A and B are shown apart, each in its own frame.
Chain A
């Protein structure tokens, strides 16, 4: 599966959030660690609900976390 057009800076945000692990983020947003990993690698685009939850965890707006880059 090719990388998707929705990019994100979750890895960077995790780093600045006291080096939060993928597992910790996954538990906070109610998905598996593998799903967080797939989102980070832009191999899976989350639903709006999960995207909002991720943004909320880091105290950012959704467009600060996710960016659409047309292919």
Chain B
């Protein structure tokens, strides 16, 4: 497949984000069955693991990519890369803003109806607000990468 250095780099970011944070969020959902203290400890462990993994995977894979495409890595982003990055950022930003408003709406809703928390087992996940915000951020990143890749693929 005829891909530029930047496109390959975005593929790495997309796949690693999907795998690492996909696993993270699946594990977070399963925490609702645990007691609160155990769930909090597990959440911290999962968060640190995901953070550590994404940093390591990105550094190692991007470094390997740059080493195998040294000339392209030194050239940096050209005007087409920057245009696609800009378009991707627009999509990602929209998703992030929607996520922030959903989170705000949830906070306000639960403030008005606190009894809902006790009725729902899913809402008993510790730090749920933080997870929703994190999910919004990760989803916005996935949308951003996907939009850029769409533009790259469309211009071939």
Contact = CB atoms under 8 A, between A and B. Distances in A.
Given A32-B80, A38-B80, A46-B79, 7 more contacts: A31-B79, A32-B4, A32-B81, A35-B80, A35-B81, A41-B156, A44-B80
A20 interface: no
A1 B154 contact: yes
A37 B4 CA distance: 11
Q: Is the interface of B mostly helix, strand, loop or mixed?
A: helix
Interface of A: 1, 30-35, 37-38, 41, 43-44, 46-47, 49-50
Given A44-B80, A46-B79, A47-B79, A34 B3 contact: yes
Contacts of A37: 2, 156
**Size bin of chain B's contact surface:** 10 to 19
Interface in B1-39: 2-7
Top 7 closest pairs, chain A to chain B, by CB = A1-B154, A31-B78, A34-B4, A43-B155, A38-B155, A35-B80, A32-B4
A31 B76 CA distance: 9
Contacts of A46: 79
Contacts of A38: 80, 155-156
A43 B72 CA distance: 21
A27 B78 CA distance: 11
A31 B2 contact: no
Q: Which of A31, A41, A46 is the most central at the interface, judged by chain B CB atoms within 10 Å of its CB?
A: A31
Contacts of B75: 30, 32
Contacts of A31: 78-80
B137 interface: no
Q: Which of B5, B78, B80 is the most central at the interface, judged by chain A CB atoms within 10 Å of its CB?
A: B80
